[in-house]
Amino acid sequence: MALWIAARDPGTPLTARIVAACVAAYAFSPIDLISDFIPVLGLLDDAILLPFGILIAVRLIPAPLMKEIRETAARRQERPMSRSGMIAIFALWLAAAGFSVWLMLK
């Protein structure tokens, strides 16, 4: 939640906003990059991508600002849902499917 807020905060540096937006969009997207029903890989992408992305984003945000953002996140009750993240993941799936079909027909 804190990264979702940081991505929209004008005081957050641009690089940190971009990283935070990408991580938050992926975390709140109802569609995973690799579906969880695929053994090992489905859970491994969440176990690697999310913590690594969070680590990078938090390091890019100044500590006093991150403290304020965490306090704001603690007061929030609702969990956002990222439609843009869902669309991006869906587009990646379509691109992979199209590429697979192209390879089969080649």
Give the pLDDT score at 74. 84
Find the angle CA(21)-CA(7)-CA(16) to the nearest 5 degrees.
80
Helices then strands, each counted (H, E), the chain: 5, 0
- Whether pLDDT at 14 is above 80: yes
State the residue range of the domain holding 9. Answer: 2-105
Contact 79, 1 (CB under 8 A): yes
Residues 34-89 pLDDT 10s: 666 677 777 777 788 889 989 999 999 999 999 998 888 888 766 666 677 778 87
Give the pLDDT score at 61. 93
Give the pLDDT score at 72. 87
Give the pLDDT score at 63. 92
Number of domains the chain contains: 1
Buried b (16+ CB within 10 A) or exposed e, 54-70: beebbebbeeeebeebe
Greater confidence (35 vs 106) lies with 106
CA distance 89 to 55: 21
